[in-house]
């Protein structure tokens, strides 16, 4: 009986040691979570800065509906209908991105902050095909915990703030967008061809 109990204890210790490693591998090396269904597009929002672990980035649309709330070292996978979408991302401040999404493709957006004039400000980088961000994608995903929008309590619900405050965020982001001009606006856009196909997603190493 004593030997059986000892064996159980050894097994439990082994599970405690092995399970976290297995979970880490599943989160960082399994790219299948990023494969878009044939009739939908996926947008993956990546938060990867250690300095930002205490802040959540909220993604919302023109209807003031939350799409995702991304915090810590997360890569949140959000399904969206193919077509054009204007999205707003707020952290320390708010940015606007415009997207044109194709079914069966996966798009990536990095959320982060930078030091500016003795404070921190938010920024976003839509991953455009052929850009430096495209080359960095695997690095940004490394170590990220994959989260699905279906498990995000914020997704699909009105933002938890006064509607007029949300409208101010939208107005400010739109004003910055218009003031940036064409070339700068292009940095905050995703076009259909920026999306990765299922075969390209399978080649991701993160």
Distance CA 103, CA 101 (A): 7
Beta-carbon contacts of 108 under 8 Å, excluding residues fewer than 6 positions away, are 43, 44, 46, 126, 127, 137, 140, 196
Tell me the whole-structure pTM to 2 decimals. Answer: 0.83
Q: Model confidence over 107-118: pLDDT tens digits? A: 999 999 888 877
Q: How far is CA 114 from the centre of its chain?
A: 17
Distance CA 64, CA 203 (A): 36
For residue 121, the SS3 value is strand
Backbone angles phi, psi at 4, to 5 degrees: -65, -45
Asked if residue 39 has pLDDT above 90, the reply is yes
Question: What are the extents of the domains in the chain?
Answer: 2-202
Q: Which residue has the tokens 């399994």?
A: 30
User: Of all residues in the chain, what percent carry a pLDDT higher than 70?
Assistant: 84
């Amino acid at each position: 009986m004593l030997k059986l109990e000892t064996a159980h204890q050894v097994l439990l210790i082994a599970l405690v040691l092995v399970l976290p490693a297995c979970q880490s591998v599943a989160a960082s090396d399994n790219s299948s979570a990023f494969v878009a269904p044939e009739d939908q597009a996926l947008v993956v929002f990546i938060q990867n800065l250690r300095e930002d672990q205490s802040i959540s980035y909220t993604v919302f649309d023109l209807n003031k509906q939350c799409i995702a709330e991304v915090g810590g070292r997360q890569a949140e996978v959000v399904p969206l209908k193919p077509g054009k979408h204007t999205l707003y991302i707020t952290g320390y401040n708010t940015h606007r991105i415009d997207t044109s999404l194709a079914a069966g493709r996966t798009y990536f957006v990095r959320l982060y902050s930078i030091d500016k004039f003795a404070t921190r400000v938010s920024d976003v980088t839509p991953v455009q095909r052929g850009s430096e961000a495209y080359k960095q994608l695997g690095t940004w995903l490394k170590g990220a915990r994959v989260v699905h929008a279906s498990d995000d309590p914020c997704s699909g619900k009105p933002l938890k703030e006064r509607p007029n405050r949300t409208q101010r965020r939208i107005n400010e982001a739109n004003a910055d967008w218009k003031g940036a001009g064409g070339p700068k606006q292009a940095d905050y856009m995703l076009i259909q061809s920026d999306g990765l196909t299922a075969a390209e997603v399978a080649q991701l190493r993160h």
